[in-house]
Structure 1
């Protein structure tokens, strides 16, 4: 079967990633949300800036999904820290897990602030 280069590729069924997406990219998109948004400062004029801002406001509806993912990571890292500290008496591993729970909690704060700004800030 030959594929013509001028025909567009068939879309993937709903809910499935494209078949040629590498796992690293899929994992990155699962955890980080920057690929959803457009850079407003890169706009060349007022119309492009407004369009990018409106796009970002529409895409902000996915931020609670990322917040839920990061809250799971925070709870998981904290639980591992408690497990390593109390059950296994591994101080260094527990410190490492508690540090990662602080890092993921900081990610949760960033996601929350971005969601609040995009949903509730008014343009002047």
Structure 2
């Protein structure tokens, strides 16, 4: 009588996520959005509505990626001007350009989702 048998249908306890997985979820916004080009018409509509409801999180992700861009460009300038290391500076500038592109893509997606309430 002291212990109860687990009931069927209950979900098992969730294991804590690794710090790497949490960090990835914190910086990568594309995990939270659905592809609106696949599935039946109803699935595409539902995916678009889901994406519109998740658009409120995009400004935070845009700020994060702009900070990453500033970080990489600052390190690139530091390597170039203070240390005179051209190759590491170039790597930082290229990485900063990539993070800037992610910020631009997010800004365009946010603008699109704000501007067009019903695509279908």
Counterpart of 1:78 in 2: which secondary structure? helix
Specify which of 38, 43, 51 is matched with residue 42 of structure 1: 38
Gaps of 5+ in 2: none
1:77-106 superposed Cα distances (whole Å, 9 cap, x missing partner): 010011111111111111111111111111
Gaps of 5+ in 1: 11-17
The equivalent residue for 2:99 is: 104
TM-score with structure 1 setting the length: 0.80
State the aligned residue count: 116
Specify which of 7, 21, 28 is matched with residue 25 of structure 1: 21
TM-score with structure 2 setting the length: 0.82
How far apart are the structure 2 equivalents of 1:120 and 1:26? 31
Higher relative contact order (CA closer than 8 Å, sequence separation 6+): 2
Structure 1's consecutive aligned runs of 4 or more residues displaced over 6 angstroms after TM superposition are none
How far apart are the structure 2 equivalents of 1:72 and 1:51? 32
Q: Which structure has the greater CA radius of gyration?
A: 2
Q: How large is the RMSD of aligned CA atoms in angstroms?
A: 2.3
The correspondence of residues 1-124 of structure 1 with structure 2, limited to 5 A, is 4=6, 6-8=9-11, 19-44=15-40, 46-122=41-117, 123=119
